[in-house]
């Protein structure tokens, strides 16, 4: 059979280097967290760790760390519960983001450890990180021990005009579409087989809640600020999990003190680490004016320059997610309690990052107030960490079949 290679001519093959994907359709799914998969990913981590180029890319290093056997075994313990019999669903077609360099690799790993065969569409935008990872996958395929396992996935790239998405959609068992919403609409025009389904990661909005009373007592505010920097500026505040809304809890007086302390610490970091694109500065101003017109009584907080833009809100409305801008634009609101927030949450809300709030309180918040949206509640500084639970999906459960045995 040469169906695929005949039909699809405008594809760039990142791995394997020759077009040989037709056989992917006929490989069965494996057990989830199979020994082969864990050994394969652990070996991948080793190659990445040895690549001198990887040292320049913390996201590659973090990815390699994720692939280590130790980590995977821990995840296995957490995600493979009971005596459940699980096999991968089969062939997964991944459409991965063009502006997060390493997400395609995580998407592949999710597919692998849940026991699947994978076709991963990598952005045609060139990233050194993607190059390093594809190269490691290629090197690994030459090792005899991993040769066969290496035939279970393909990494490819093509532009929007190519009809490949139609074909891959027609043969896959699960299609994973990383947003934005326009992409999801566009890809969904391609039919799936009757038994197949989509896992979509749509555009989301995230917020950060800080307990001012606790923060004022914080001995290492610079560490909290550094975590916040990683949540926001590190990815130009454009990751879905990056907070755009900062909510303060506490007394008026404490909140004022905490704000000063917090932003001074963040500013010190941003000033040294972040390069503000001129267009971002103009966009922040335009966003602020737009927000001013559409909302009531907002005020720009005084800042020394355009690195951090803070918009102070007197009231919080349901359309708050319309007023966002990349590169360091924050709406700030002082809330009386978490309860007050649950009124404005919509299914667009993804990550609530927090500081100084007890887990017990957060659990109560979810169980008692049952907010719409909010799929992740993550300590400040850890929002960009990948996990096997994403946007409310347990990816192991979703990407594998549980076989009922009585």
Query: Which residues would be at the binding site for other proteins (CB under 8 A)?
Result: 95-101, 103, 123-125, 158-161, 177-180, 182-183, 186, 201, 203, 235-240, 242, 276-283, 285-286, 288-293, 297-300, 304-307, 311, 326-327
Q: Give the orientation angle of helix 58-67 with respect to helix 128-142, to 10 degrees.
A: 40
Is the distance from CB of 178 to CB of 156 less than 8 angstroms?
A: no
9 or 159: CB nearest other proteins: 159
Within 10 A of 311 (CB to CB), how many other CB atoms are there?
24
Asked if the peptide bond before residue 180 counts as cis, ω within 30 degrees of 0, the response is yes
Using CA atoms, how far residue 121 sits from 29, 279, 359, in Å, is 20, 30, 38
Q: Which is nearer to other proteins, 125 or 359 (CB)?
A: 125
Instruction: Closer to other proteins by CB, 270 or 357: give it.
Output: 270
Considering the complex, what minimum distance in angstroms separates the CB of residue 164 from other proteins?
11
Residues near 214 by beta carbon (within 8 Å), at least 6 away in sequence: 355, 356, 357
Nearer to other proteins, 62 or 150 (CB): 62
Backbone phi, psi, residue 248, to 5°: -105, 135
CA distance 94 to 108: 8
Output 31 or 236, the one with its CB closest to other proteins: 236
Q: How far is the CB of 48 from other proteins (least distance, A)?
A: 20
* Nearest distance in Å: CB 30, other proteins: 27
| DSSP single-letter state for residue 207 | E
Taking the least distance from each CB to other proteins, the nearer of 40 and 333 is 333
Min. distance of Cβ 283 from other proteins in angstroms? 8
Task: Assess contact for 338 and 313: CB atoms under 8 A.
Answer: no
The minimum distance between CB 382 and other proteins, in angstroms, equals 16
Please state the closest distance from residue 289 (CB atom) to other proteins, in A: 4
Cα(370)–Cα(264) distance, rounded to whole angstroms?
A: 35
């Amino acid at each position: 059979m040469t169906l695929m290679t005949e039909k699809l001519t405008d594809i760039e093959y990142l791995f394997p280097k020759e077009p040989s994907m037709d056989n992917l359709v006929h490989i069965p799914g494996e057990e989830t967290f199979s020994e082969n998969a864990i050994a394969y990913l652990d070996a991948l981590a080793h190659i990445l760790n040895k690549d001198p180029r990887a040292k320049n890319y913390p996201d590659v290093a973090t990815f390699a760390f994720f692939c280590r056997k130790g980590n995977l075994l821990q995840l296995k313990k957490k995600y493979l519960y009971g005596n459940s019999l699980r096999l991968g669903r089969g062939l997964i077609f991944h459409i991965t983001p063009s502006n997060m360099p390493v997400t395609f690799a995580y998407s592949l790993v999710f597919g692998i450890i849940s026991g699947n065969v994978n076709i991963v569409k990598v952005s045609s935008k060139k990233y050194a990180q993607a190059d390093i990872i594809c190269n490691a996958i290629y090197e690994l395929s030459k090792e005899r021990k991993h040769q066969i396992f290496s035939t279970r996935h393909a990494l490819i790239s093509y532009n929007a005009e190519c009809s490949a998405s139609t074909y891959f959609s027609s043969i896959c068992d699960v299609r994973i579409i990383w947003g934005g919403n326009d992409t999801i609409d566009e890809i969904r025009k391609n039919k799936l087989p009757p038994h197949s389904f989509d896992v979509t990661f749509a555009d989301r909005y995230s917020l950060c809640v800080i307990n001012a009373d606790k923060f004022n007592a914080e001995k290492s505010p610079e560490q909290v600020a550094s975590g916040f920097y990683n949540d926001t500026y590190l990815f130009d505040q454009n990751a879905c999990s990056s907070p755009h809304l900062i909510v303060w809890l506490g007394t008026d007086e404490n909140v004022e003190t905490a704000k000063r302390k917090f932003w001074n610490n963040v500013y010190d970091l941003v000033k040294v680490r972040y390069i503000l694109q001129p267009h971002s500065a103009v966009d922040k101003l335009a966003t602020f004016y737009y927000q001013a017109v559409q909302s009531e009584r907002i005020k720009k907080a005084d800042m020394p320059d355009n690195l951090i833009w803070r918009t102070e809100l007197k009231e919080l409305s349901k359309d708050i997610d319309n007023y966002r801008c990349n590169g360091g634009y924050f709406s700030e609101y002082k809330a009386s309690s978490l309860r007050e927030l649950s009124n404005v949450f919509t299914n667009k809300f993804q990550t609530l990052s927090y500081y100084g709030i007890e887990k017990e309180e957060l659990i109560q918040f979810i169980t008692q107030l049952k907010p719409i949206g909010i799929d992740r509640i993550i300590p400040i500084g850890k929002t960009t960490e990948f996990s096997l639970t994403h946007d409310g999906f347990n990816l192991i459960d979703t990407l594998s079949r549980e076989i009922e045995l009585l």
